C-alpha cells in the first residue's frame, strides 16, 4: 500500500459547483498536510497548509484533516474555470530532514 | 522574480548519454529536492538535500546522482540515460528540512522535460 492514496480522476464539474478532493494515508506520524495546485506544464504551487487535525479556510478553499480516519479533504466552493488544474495532496511527519510525500494528483476540469 | 530556476527546460537524449540538470534558488532556503513526475505516478522523490553538505536518497534514486554545490545550487546527474528516465523533472526548495517549520511549503521550479530515445 502506498503511503498516500489519491483518486486521479479526472473530475469534471460545471462552473459554480462545489468540488471535493480527497486523500487517504497510512502513516500515523504525518502531521503536516498540504494541497498543491498544478496548472498544465507548470510546477506545483502551494494552495493550503494545515497542521494536525481541523479545518482551515482561505477564500473559496477549505482544507480538512481527520487524523483519526487518516483522511484529508480540499473543498472548492463556487468553482471557476480558472480552478481547472491538477490538485496534489502532500504530507510529512515532524522529523528533521524528511521530505514531503505526494499523492498522485486529481485532475479537475471546470466548464463554463 | 525570486524562485527556483531549472535548466534546461527541454532535453532529448540518446540512450547511454549523460547529462546534468541544473537547479538554483535565490530564497536562501536550506533544503532542496529533486522529484520526477510521470503520468499516473504523481511526484516521486529522487534525492533531497536537507542542508548544505548533506544529500539523501528518496523513493527512486537508482540511475541518478546529485551534488549540492552550495546553498543555492542542487544538480541532478544522469550518468547513462535510459528510456525509463523519460519524465518531467522538478526541483524544489524549502526553508528548513523539517517541513513543519516551513509553512511556506516547497517552492517548485517550472520543470525540465526530458526524453530519452
A82 touches chain B (CB under 8 A): no
Query: Following CA atoms B2, B41, A85, B21 in sequence, which dihedral angle do they give, to the nearest 10 degrees?
Result: 30
pLDDT at A9: 83
Measured between its terminal Cα atoms, the distance across chain A in Å is: 38
Min distance A104 CA to chain B CA atoms (Å): 4
Task: Using a pLDDT cut of 70, give the percent of chain A over it.
Answer: 95
Region A15-44 average pLDDT = 93
Sign of CA dihedral A97, B74, B17, A41: positive
DSSP 8-class letter at A68? T
Nearest to A37 by CA among A61, A72, A5, A3: A61
Cis peptide before A60 (omega within 30 of 0): no
Report chain A's C-alpha Rg in angstroms: 14
Residues 6+ apart with CB under 8 A from A25: A3, A4, A5, A70, A71, A72, A91
- For residue A107, what is the nearest residue in chain B, using CA coordinates? B40
A2 touches chain B (CB under 8 A): no
From first to last of the 117 residues of chain B, give the pLDDT tens digit.
Answer: 679 999 999 999 999 999 999 999 999 988 899 999 998 888 999 999 988 889 999 999 999 999 999 999 999 999 999 999 999 999 999 886 444 444 567 899 999 999 999
Min distance B15 CA to chain A CA atoms (Å): 25
Angle at CA of residue A98, ends A92 and A103, nearest 5°: 40
pLDDT at B40: 82
Region A93-103 average pLDDT = 74
pLDDT at A89 over 80: yes
Sort out which chain A residues have CB atoms less than 8 A from B33's CB and list them.
99
Nearest to A8 by CA among A102, A107, A85, A74: A107
Selecting from B35, B92, B99 the residue whose C-beta is nearest the C-beta of A98 gives B99
Min distance A95 CA to chain B CA atoms (Å): 6
Which B-chain residues 17-36 have CB contacts (< 8 A) with chain A?
Answer: 33, 35
- 544538480: which residue's cell? B75
What ranges make up the beta strands (E) of chain A? 4-6, 11-14, 19-25, 30-38, 45-51, 54-58, 61-66, 71-76, 85-93, 101-102, 106-111
Min distance A48 CA to chain B CA atoms (Å): 9
DSSP 8-class letter at B52? T
Selecting from B35, B45, B98 the residue whose C-beta is nearest the C-beta of A96 gives B98
A92 touches chain B (CB under 8 A): yes
Q: What's the pLDDT tens digit per position in A36-87?
A: 999 999 999 999 988 888 899 999 999 999 999 999 999 999 999 999 999 9
Amino acid at each position: 500500500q502506498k503511503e498516500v492514496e489519491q483518486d486521479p480522476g479526472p473530475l469534471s464539474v460545471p462552473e459554480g459547483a462545489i468540488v471535493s478532493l480527497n486523500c487517504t494515508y497510512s502513516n500515523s506520524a504525518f502531521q503536516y498536510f498540504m494541497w498543491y495546485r498544478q496548472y498544465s506544464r507548470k510546477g506545483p504551487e502551494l494552495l493550503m497548509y494545515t497542521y494536525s487535525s481541523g479545518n482551515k479556510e482561505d477564500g473559496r478553499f477549505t482544507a480538512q484533516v481527520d487524523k483519526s480516519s487518516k483522511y484529508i479533504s480540499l473543498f472548492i466552493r463556487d468553482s471557476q474555470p480558472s480552478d481547472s488544474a491538477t490538485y496534489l495532496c502532500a504530507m510529512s511527519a515532524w522529523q528533521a530532514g524528511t521530505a514531503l510525500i505526494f499523492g498522485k494528483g486529481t485532475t479537475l476540469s471546470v466548464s463554463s | 522574480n525570486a524562485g527556483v530556476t531549472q535548466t534546461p527546460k527541454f532535453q532529448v537524449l540518446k540512450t547511454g548519454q549523460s547529462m546534468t540538470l541544473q537547479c538554483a534558488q535565490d530564497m536562501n532556503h536550506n533544503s532542496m529536492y529533486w522529484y520526477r513526475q510521470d503520468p499516473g505516478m504523481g511526484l516521486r522523490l529522487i534525492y533531497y538535500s536537507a542542508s548544505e553538505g548533506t544529500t539523501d536518497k528518496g523513493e527512486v534514486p537508482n540511475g541518478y546522482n546529485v551534488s549540492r554545490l552550495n546553498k543555492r545550487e542542487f544538480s541532478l546527474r544522469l550518468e547513462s540515460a535510459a528510456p525509463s528516465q523519460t519524465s518531467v523533472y522538478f526541483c524544489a526548495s524549502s526553508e528548513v528540512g523539517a517541513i513543519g517549520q516551513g509553512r511556506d511549503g516547497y517552492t517548485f521550479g517550472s520543470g525540465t522535460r526530458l526524453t530519452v530515445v
